[in-house]
């Protein structure tokens, strides 16, 4: 009886681990592709979606979520975002599986946005279209037939940081700002992208989170990367980049894969910070 009891506990524990992981494999997505309760979403630009996409996938480009004009990267209001998703056949009542070409940053932008809007079942295809093609799974150029849905938002403010919160983080040892830009950009060594960095922020290059095959690295590898940078579970971690796109990869890694309790994205990012005449380090 004891062996049976512990076996059941192990199975339950494994189940919770699997649920906490919002990455989905090519094999698992392939098995769900015709499930009416599942919607697959390409986060790519409309031009890229038109070239090739997963069978039956709808398109919600990460750029379509942004406000027109003004500061690049700022999202529309929750109600406007909900209309965009709904008009493209995405409902919070369904399991939503997002993907991009393989870099993960556009898919994770949609992932964070959907979690911010309160969608309970959101997953990211690990490896994106690169992995899907490698697995010889069906792709098409034909647009999917989209039936509009109603998306009802329930905003999760716990994963959102605004500029005032980032300003208040200065000198607070319990809060750490993690910038997900490539190291050459964060350090100011890229002459084409030398926007500066928010004072006190540290760098975790988003490309270091991925393995050579475009999938996320193991839990142990990711934990080592963030811990080495000083981003530990006992702190509130605010993720930044210029537009919030690359910050999404950090959110997925920390919140879903590693289970960090207090992780937020500064949605305005370096672009809003600079536009508001805040100090930037070079």
Domain boundary among 109, 140, 171: 140
Q: What is the pLDDT of residue 15?
A: 36
Which DSSP letter does residue 257 get? Answer: I
Are both 120 and 186 inside the same structural domain? no
Q: What phi, psi does 122 have (nearest 5°)?
A: -125, 130
Tokens encoding 39:
């919607």
pLDDT tens-digit series, residues 228-263: 999 999 999 999 999 999 999 999 999 999 999 999
Give the residue carrying structure tokens 């300003």.
Answer: 167
CATH code for the domain of 99: 3.40.250.10
Where would I find the H helices in the chain?
Answer: 2-20, 26-32, 46-51, 78-87, 105-116, 128-134, 163-168, 183-186, 219-228, 247-251, 269-275
Is 5 a member of any domain?
no
Question: CA 21 → CA 12, 71, 218, distances in Å?
Answer: 14, 33, 12
Q: What is the pLDDT of residue 282?
A: 85
What span, in angstroms and rounded, lies between the C-alpha atoms of 158 and 186? 26
What span, in angstroms and rounded, lies between the C-alpha atoms of 184 and 258? 26
Closest CA to 249 of 90, 128, 134, 85: 128
Is 103 a member of any domain?
yes
Q: What is the pLDDT of residue 105?
A: 97
What span, in angstroms and rounded, lies between the C-alpha atoms of 110 and 43? 7
Q: What is the pLDDT of residue 191?
A: 73
Q: What is the pLDDT of residue 8?
A: 44
Are both 112 and 211 inside the same structural domain? no
pLDDT tens-digit series, residues 31-40: 999 999 999 9
Containing structural domain, residue 72:
22-140
Q: What is the pLDDT of residue 121?
A: 97
Low-confidence ranges of the chain (pLDDT < 70): 1-20
What span, in angstroms and rounded, lies between the C-alpha atoms of 163 and 268? 7
Q: What is the pLDDT of residue 246?
A: 97
- Total number of domains in the chain: 2
Is 6 a member of any domain?
no
What span, in angstroms and rounded, lies between the C-alpha atoms of 282 and 279? 10
């Amino acid at each position: 009886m004891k062996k049976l009891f512990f076996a059941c506990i192990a199975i339950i524990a494994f189940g919770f681990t699997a649920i906490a992981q919002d990455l989905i494999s090519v094999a698992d997505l392939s098995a769900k592709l015709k499930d009416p309760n599942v919607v697959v979403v390409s986060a790519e630009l409309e031009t890229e979606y038109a070239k090739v996409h997963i069978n039956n996938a709808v398109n919600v480009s990460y750029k379509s979520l942004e406000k027109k004009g003004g500061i690049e990267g700022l999202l529309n209001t929750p109600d406007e975002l909900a209309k965009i998703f709904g008009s493209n056949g995405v409902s919070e009542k369904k399991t939503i599986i997002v993907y991009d070409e393989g870099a993960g940053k556009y898919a994770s932008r949609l992932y964070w946005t959907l979690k911010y809007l309160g969608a309970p079942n959101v997953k990211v295809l690990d490896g994106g279209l690169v992995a899907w093609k490698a697995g010889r799974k069906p792709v098409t150029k034909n647009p999917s037939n989209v039936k509009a849905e109603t998306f009802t938002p329930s905003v999760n403010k716990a994963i959102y940081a605004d500029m005032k919160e980032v300003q208040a983080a200065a000198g607070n040892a319990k809060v750490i700002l993690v910038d997900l830009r490539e190291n050459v950009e964060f350090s100011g060594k890229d002459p084409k992208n030398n926007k500066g960095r928010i004072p006190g922020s540290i760098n975790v290059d988003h490309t270091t989170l991925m393995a050579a095959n475009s999938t996320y690295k193991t839990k142990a590898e990711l934990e080592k990367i963030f811990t080495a940078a000083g981003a530990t579970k006992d702190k509130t971690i605010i993720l930044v980049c210029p537009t919030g796109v690359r910050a999404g990869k950090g959110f997925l890694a920390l919140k879903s894969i590693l289970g960090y309790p207090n992780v937020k994205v500064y949605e305005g990012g370096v672009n809003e910070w600079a536009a508001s005449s805040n100090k930037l380090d070079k």
